[in-house]
A and B are shown apart, each in its own frame.
Chain A
Amino acid sequence: MDNSAIKIATAPLPTRKTLKSRKNIPFQIVRFAVFNIRMLKMVTRAHR
Chain B
Amino acid sequence: MARIVILGAGISGHTAALHLKRKLKNRHEIVVVSPNSNWNWIPSNIWVGVGKMSKNQVIFPLRPIYKRKGIEFRQAKATALWPEGDENSPQGAVDIVYTDPERLGDEERLTYDFLINATGPKLNFAATPGLGPDGNSLSVCTAQHAEETSKEFDKIVEALKRGERKTLVVGVGHGTCTCEGAAFEYTFNVEHELRERNVRDLAEVVYLTNEYDLGDFGVGGMQFAQRGFVTSSKMWTESLFRERNVRAILGAHVERVDPGVIYYEQLDGTKESLPFDFAMLLPPFRGADLKAFNSSGEDITSELFAPNGFLRVDADYTAKSYDSWTAEDWPKTYQSQSYENLFGIGIAFAPPHPISQPRTSPNGTLIAPAPPRTGMPSGVMGRIVAQSIADRLLSKSDAPLHKASMANMGAACIASAGASLKNGSAAAMTMYPIVPDFKRFPESGRDLKETTGEIGLGAHWTKLLLHYLFIYKAKARPLWFLIPE
To the question of whether A and B form a pair in one complex, the answer is yes
Chain A residues, Cβ within 8 Å of B380: 47
Q: Mark B427-438, 1 if CB is under 8 A from A, else 0.
A: 010101100000
Contact A43 B410 (CB under 8 A): yes
Contact B485 A47 (CB under 8 A): yes
Q: Provided the pairs A4-B248, A32-B458 are in contact, do residues A11 and B238 lie with their beta carbons within 8 angstroms?
A: yes
Contact A8 B409 (CB under 8 A): no
Most buried by A among B241, B249, B456, B458: B458
Contact of B238 among A8, A29, A40, A47 (CB under 8 A): A8
Chain A residues, Cβ within 8 Å of B235: 11-12
Chain B residues, Cβ within 8 Å of A40: 484
Contact of B428 among A4, A19, A35, A47 (CB under 8 A): A35
B87 at the interface (CB under 8 A from A): no
Bound-state CA distance A7–B411 (Å) is: 28
Contact B249 A2 (CB under 8 A): yes
Chain B residues, Cβ within 8 Å of A43: 376, 410, 412, 484-485
Contact B238 A2 (CB under 8 A): no
Residues of B333-373 at the interface with A, using a CB-CB cut-off of 8 Å, are none
Q: Provided the pairs A22-B425, A23-B423 are in contact, do residues A8 and B457 lie with their beta carbons within 8 angstroms?
A: no
| B417 nearest in chain A by CB position | A22
Chain A residues, Cβ within 8 Å of B459: 31-32, 35
Contact A31 B484 (CB under 8 A): no
Bound-state CA distance A38–B270 (Å) is: 44
Contact A14 B243 (CB under 8 A): yes
Interface of B is mostly: mixed
Number of A-B contacts defined by CB within 8 Å: 102
Chain B residues, Cβ within 8 Å of A12: 235, 239
Chain A residues, Cβ within 8 Å of B425: 22-23
Bound-state CA distance A36–B241 (Å) is: 26
Q: Mark A10-48, 1 if CB is under 8 A from B, else 0.
A: 011110000101110100111110011011101111110
Q: Provided the pairs A8-B238, A28-B458, A32-B462 are in contact, do residues A39 and B214 lie with their beta carbons within 8 angstroms?
A: no
Chain A residues, Cβ within 8 Å of B456: 21-23, 28, 31
Return B402 CB to nearest CB of chain A, in Å: 10
Contact B423 A8 (CB under 8 A): no
Return B12 CB to nearest CB of chain A, in Å: 14
B72 at the interface (CB under 8 A from A): no
Return A8 CB to nearest CB of chain B, in Å: 5
Q: Provided the pairs A43-B410, A43-B485 are in contact, do residues A5 and B243 lie with their beta carbons within 8 angstroms?
A: no
Chain B residues, Cβ within 8 Å of A14: 239, 243
Contact A38 B452 (CB under 8 A): yes
Contact A42 B432 (CB under 8 A): yes
B132 at the interface (CB under 8 A from A): no
Contact B214 A4 (CB under 8 A): yes
Contact A13 B458 (CB under 8 A): no
Return B444 CB to nearest CB of chain A, in Å: 17
Return A20 CB to nearest CB of chain B, in Å: 11
| A7 nearest in chain B by CB position | B238
Chain A residues, Cβ within 8 Å of B409: 46-47
B108 at the interface (CB under 8 A from A): no
Chain A residues, Cβ within 8 Å of B411: 42
Contact B432 A46 (CB under 8 A): yes
Contact A25 B457 (CB under 8 A): yes
Bound-state CA distance A31–B366 (Å) is: 40
Bound-state CA distance A46–B404 (Å) is: 9
Chain B residues, Cβ within 8 Å of A46: 408-410, 432-433
| A38 nearest in chain B by CB position | B430
Contact A22 B428 (CB under 8 A): no
Residues of B429-464 at the interface with A, using a CB-CB cut-off of 8 Å, are 430, 432-433, 450, 452, 454-459, 461-462
Bound-state CA distance A40–B428 (Å) is: 13
| B425 nearest in chain A by CB position | A22
Most buried by B among A11, A28, A29: A11
List chain A positions with a Cβ less than 8 A from chain B: 1-2, 4-5, 7-9, 11-14, 19, 21-23, 25, 28-32, 35-36, 38-40, 42-47
Q: What 16 additional pairs, Cβ within 8 angstroms, besides A12-B235, A13-B242, A22-B456?
A: A1-B268, A2-B251, A4-B247, A4-B249, A8-B247, A11-B238, A12-B239, A19-B243, A25-B422, A29-B458, A30-B458, A35-B428, A38-B412, A43-B484, A46-B410, A47-B404
> Across chains A and B, which 10 residue pairs bring their CB atoms closest together, nearest first?
A32-B458, A11-B238, A28-B458, A31-B458, A46-B410, A22-B456, A42-B410, A43-B484, A39-B412, A28-B457
22 residue pairs bridging A and B, Cβ less than 8 Å apart: A1-B268, A2-B251, A2-B267, A4-B250, A7-B238, A8-B242, A11-B238, A11-B239, A13-B242, A13-B243, A19-B243, A22-B457, A23-B457, A28-B456, A28-B461, A32-B459, A35-B462, A42-B432, A45-B410, A46-B433, A47-B404, A47-B410
